[in-house]
Amino acid sequence: MNNNDLANSYIKLINSALEDYVQFTGDEEDRVTEAMLYSLKIGGKRVRPMLVLEFCRVCGGDVNLALPFACALEMIHTYSLIHDDLPCMDDDDFRRGMPSCHKKYDYATALLAGDGLLTLAFSVVSGAQLPSEKVVKAVKLLADCAGYRGMIGGQTMDLQHEGQSITVEQLRKTDALKTGKLIYAACVLGCIAASADEKAIEAAKIYAENIGLAFQIVDDVLDITSTAEELGKPIGSDESNGKSTYPALLGFEKSKALVAQLTDEAVAAVSVFGEKGAFLADYARKLSVRTK
């Protein structure tokens, strides 16, 4: 199976499982269920759950057993996007070419849909058919990476920095939390599911830290150079919200050079897996040159 076929098989597996986890019951509360499903199904590259499954595979695990970890992480990621689009955050009306959850429904429903996905994620991960010690590790990792010392902490810093002049190091720390922590969680969750050794886990951490930062830099560049049609959301929102970005602090050429450097370091990290690491190396390169 080539890399594209493997990626497509992962996406089908993930999408099918997500729909199984969030189902209509006919009860009155199904308006929030509808909003949860709407946000889960309006696209997305499934970067994080795919990394869970692939790190599980390269470490010799069963990807089907890692699927609850992958879906739980995608639920947390989707909840963060719902809340990120709200007027109290980035106030974006579109996500992936479709109305944001609060525009499709309303502010309160979107807020509850995000809360619903966050809480469902921990129910899903706790139901994984894996040894209890692995499940406990996964729950703690998810909570730490998504919480106030992880993604939420980074989002807090991001809001505090609006309209301020900050250093590249401050920006890097913010993005390592806001964007990087869930990518870090993805790579390590796959290792946990597969009972990976310390050498593999260390490689996963280095890979995650590098592609996480590269991912955010590419996002910053696309917010300036792309179009709303290509990105599926408004462009120029970073500038309009007074946010510091890598292109603003380093310039385009240095930003692109940094992405290339980080990608090379990620590729080097997964060389420990030999030929099995080919998908991860190729995926890092594809993410570095994405256009949306």
Q: For residue 131, what is the DSSP state? A: -
Domain 3-288 in this protein, CATH class:
mainly alpha
Q: What is the mean pLDDT of residues 197-219?
A: 97
Higher pLDDT, 235 or 125: 125
Please give the average per-residue pLDDT across 73-91, as a whole number. 94
What is the per-residue pLDDT for 228?
Answer: 60
Enumerate long-range contacts of 143-148, CB under 8 Å, 24 or more apart.
145/181, 145/182, 145/184, 145/185, 146/76, 146/80, 146/118, 146/181, 146/182, 146/185
The DSSP letter of residue 276 is G
Phi/psi for 149 (5° steps) reads -100, 5
Number of residues assigned to the chain: 292
The two tokens of residue 202 are 């260390």
CA-based torsion, 21, 24, 27, 30: positive or negative: positive
pLDDT in tens, 88-117: 988 889 888 899 999 999 999 999 999 999
Q: Is the pLDDT of residue 81 over 70?
A: yes
pLDDT of residue 164: 87
Q: What is the pLDDT of residues 168-205, one digit of tens each?
A: 999 999 999 999 999 999 999 999 999 999 999 999 99
Q: Residue 162: pLDDT above 70? A: yes
In 3D space, the residue among 243, 274, 195, 266 whose CA is nearest the CA of residue 91 turns out to be 243
Q: How far apart are CA 201 and CA 204, in angstroms?
A: 5
pLDDT of 242 over the 70 cut: no
Whole-number average pLDDT of the chain: 93
Looking at residue 14, what is its pLDDT?
A: 97
The conformation of residue 65, written as its DSSP 8-state character, comes to H
Closest residue by Cα to residue 6 from 200, 258, 278, 197: 278
Give the pTM. Answer: 0.93
Q: Judging by DSSP bridges, how do beta strands 94-95 and 98-99 pair with one another? A: antiparallel
Q: What are the boundaries of each domain within the chain?
A: 3-288
Token pair of 34 as six digits = 């509808």
Contacts of 133 (CB under 8 A, 6+ apart): none
The region of weakest confidence among 71-75, 92-96, 148-152, 226-230 is 226-230
pLDDT of 62 reads 98
Q: How far is CA 130 from CA 61, 63, 117, 176, in A?
A: 11, 12, 22, 29
Residue scoring higher pLDDT (134 or 91): 134
Query: Could you report the per-residue pLDDT of 45-64, keeping only the tens digit for each?
Result: 999 999 999 999 999 999 99
pLDDT at 264 over 60: yes
Paired tokens of 65: 């057993």
